[in-house]
Structure formats: C-alpha cells, structure tokens
Amino acid sequence: MSNEPFKTELFLPSQAAAETEATIVKWLVGEGDSFSKGQVLAEVESAKSTFEFEAPCDGAVVSLLLAEGMSTPFDKPVITIETADQSLIREIPSAAVSIPDSPKMDIPVVAKKKSDVQGGAVCILGIGTYLPERIVSNKELLVDHPDINEDYIFGVTGIRQRHWAGTGEKPSDMAFAASRMAIENSGLSPKDIDGIIVSTTTPEVVMPSTACLLQEKLGIRGKPAFDLNAACSGWVYGIAVAKGMAAAGIGRNILVTGVEMQSRLLDKKDRGTYFLFGDGAGATVVSGSQEGHLVKNEILSADPAGLHMARREAPGYEILQNSGDSDPWMRLDGRALFRFATESFSTMIRELIVKSGWEPVDVRWVVPHQANGRILKAAAQRSGVPFERFYLNIDKVGNTSSASIPLALAEIERGLQKKDKIVFCTVGAGITVAGISIEW
C-alpha cells in the first residue's frame, strides 16, 4: 500500500439526526500547520451542542474552507488537508462528497416504453425472509471506537442496529429458512420448483454451490441450481435471469434467494465497513405460469472502472486461518462509491419509470438496496421521486447486500394494493448496477 501523501477534504462529524448545520466558533490551526491524529482542529457549535472537531489522522493543513463565525451544512467540507493515512480513502463519507475522478455509469435514459417479455407475463409470487436472532447495536460496536458516538454512526450511515448470525449458523441455513417461507407464501410446494438461483458473495464453500446445498435442504432433485455473484445487485440480477428462464420455458417456477453472512468479514479497525453490514436472507418465486406481481422491465449492467470500490480477496463467509499475504477483509472505497451509487440509483429510477410507461407520480414505492442512508437521500433528490416514497429499513437491519431488497419488500407487502407500481434498484461490487419495475 502506498504511503505517498495525498490531499483530501474533511467534514464536520454529524451530530443528532435532526441537526443539519454547525458553526465554526474558533479554528485552532492555520494553513501550513501540522497536526496529529486526535488533535483538536476547531471548536464547533450546532443548534443542540458544542463540540470539538478532532483530526482523524496525522497531516498538515492546506487550506481552511470556512471562516470563524460562519455556518455550514454537514455535507460541505470545512478544511483541506494533506495526509499519508490511507484509511482516509475508505472513510465513511459524511455526506454527498464530490469525487471528480470517480467513474460514472453511462445508462442512457430511453425515450419510449420497452416491450414486455415475449411469450407471456412473468410474475413474482410469495416472499420469504430470515434475520438472525442476534441484534447488534451501534453501542456494542463502539467499544472498539471510543472516540465516536452512536449519533455519529447513525448520522453517516442511517443505521442503529443490525442482525448478525449466531455461532454455528451457516449461509445455507438462512437461505433455507427464507426459501421455505417464500415457497409456502407462493402457494406452492418444493416439488413445484423448477430451478434455484442463489445470489451470494458469502458462499458456504467454493463448491458445490450454496444453491445445491439449499436444493438438498428443500428436498428438490433433478432441477437446475446455481449461484450468482453480482454482490449487492445479486438478487435483482437473479430475478432478471429467472425471468429469462421462465420465458424460455426452462422452468415454470424459479426460486431466487439472496443470502449474505458478512458479519465475520469485517475488520474492526476499518470504519468504512465495520458499522455497515448485517446478515440475512430474502427469497421469492418467479413464475411464468402463475398469476402474481408482474415483472415489467429490468436493467442489468456493470462497469469494471469501479473494480476498486468494493472488494474482498478471499472467498467464503469466514476468515481463513491461513490467508497468506492477501487481505482477508471486506473493503470499500467509500467516497468514490458514494458518488457512483448516488448517480446510478437516480439514473436507474428515472430510466425504469420511462421504460415502464409511467410518470414519477405513479410510483408507489422505490425499494432500494439498503446501502447507506445518506446515499439514498442524495439519490432521491435526483430521481424525481420524493424521498418519502423510498422505503428504508437500513436503520434496523443494516446493509445486507443482495438480501436487502427482499427484506425491505416483505415489510411493505401487506400495505400494497393491486396495480401499485414499484421500482427496485441497487449498486454492487464489480461495479454492478441493476433495477426492475414491478406492477403489484
């Protein structure tokens, strides 16, 4: 890893969720001054508190971006510094940070509605979910980070708690619980399932696939089963693949399950990942022969310019004892990912609305991948759909990667009515993007 100094901007740490801005009372450093990690850079005042702005690393002041006595939103930088601390590259962004050199997904917005699948409608049937019993609060995780508080974590992530798998629990166990519920809620039995797709970045073993392990637990034989890895976009990718299988006559009812067990892959020292991720599973049945919730249109894309944004070098759901020289932990380039995700989410939403022949006002819910609360708020501002129509449960479950959309969808299912229009959208490592529109 390079130790070359680089320039970056710092933001004031978010305070209570309701606070939007703060005032620099007094700078304690000036341009050209060197500082140490933990040194107080400024005294700051917000509507409800007075606090000290501490340096997150060693470095030097390049420029002060805000004069004393001036107020600023928490999403604006206040100081430019130079540092060699590489952890700042992965730091959780305080808000919508502009990253001039980050790649941008080119998703052209179409001018007319795209036709539905040839050969008949393909629908989503019942939904099934599973969350581990163990609930992990921000307070529990902050034992290893005494310099920040629960309000800060909630402010930059939108997360208050997450579920983590218990000792002895495996990905196929979670997938089985969600899949069994989805099949039952579809009014089917395992013998009616003609194929299994499992989206996961945390397979139980390298081979056989987690889908085949799930197939055994469900008692299904003689039907295709395979894993799909599109990271956080995996479940939506799986729905699109299942739609193609059903439309092609490969199977009438395809089970699509997203399962992630990421809690054992988090470096406690890495604030860019440690507070974000939870475990869980979500499943549904995609059918070409049953009446259900119509799959209208889909977007699948990927851009290798974002390969560095989210990554893990070792396979599996646990850290191997002998990982050699490879980095075994999950890593994010938080700032670059923030901008890319914000732009991609909003572009996908706009395109899916146009392709489906809808207007923004027609959309009952946008159900996004629960990536980061601030990313989703920034995306809503650019999407044309009001933020109150974005369904978020990230505060309760964290980022569950490819399981997050079905977990969120299950929570709003009871309140949905026939013909309601829903947009799903997600961004994942790869970097992948995916979205589908559904008429309920």
* Positions marked active-site: 232, 369, 399
**Exposure string for 5-31, b = 16+ CB within 10 A, e = fewer:** eeebbbbbbbbeeebeebbbeebebee
Neighbours of 268 (CB within 10 A): 12
Question: Residue 78 is encoded by which pair of tokens?
Answer: 């206040």
CA distances from 363 to 34, 107, 284, 366 (A): 52, 20, 22, 7
Q: Is 238 helix (H, G, I), strand (E, B) or coil?
A: helix
Neighbours of 90 (CB within 10 A): 18
- Quote the radius of gyration of the chain (alpha carbons, Å): 22
The residues, any chain, with a CB within 8 Å of residue 92's CB and separated by 6 or more, are: 156, 157, 271, 272, 275, 276, 334, 372
Q: Enumerate the H helices of 59-201 as residue ranges.
A: 138-141, 150-157, 171-185
Neighbours of 195 (CB within 10 A): 23
Question: Residue 432 is encoded by which pair of tokens?
Answer: 């992948």
**Exposure string for 38-53, b = 16+ CB within 10 A, e = fewer:** eeebbbbebeeeebeb
Chain centroid offset of residue 362 CA: 25
CA distances from 292 to 185, 212, 276 (A): 12, 26, 34
> d(Cα 80, Cα 87) in Å, to the nearest integer?
16
> d(Cα 159, Cα 137) in Å, to the nearest integer?
9
Tell me the backbone φ, ψ of residue 373, rounded to 5 degrees. Answer: -55, -40
DSSP 163-228: EEPPTT--HHHHHHHHHHHHHHHTT--GGG--EEEEE-SS-SSSSS-HHHHHHHHHT--SS-EEEE
Return the axis-axis angle of helices 210-218 and 171-185, rounded to nearest 10°.
50
* Cβ–Cβ < 8 Å for 424, 284: no
Question: Residue 97 is encoded by which pair of tokens?
Answer: 């940070």
* Cβ–Cβ < 8 Å for 279, 163: yes
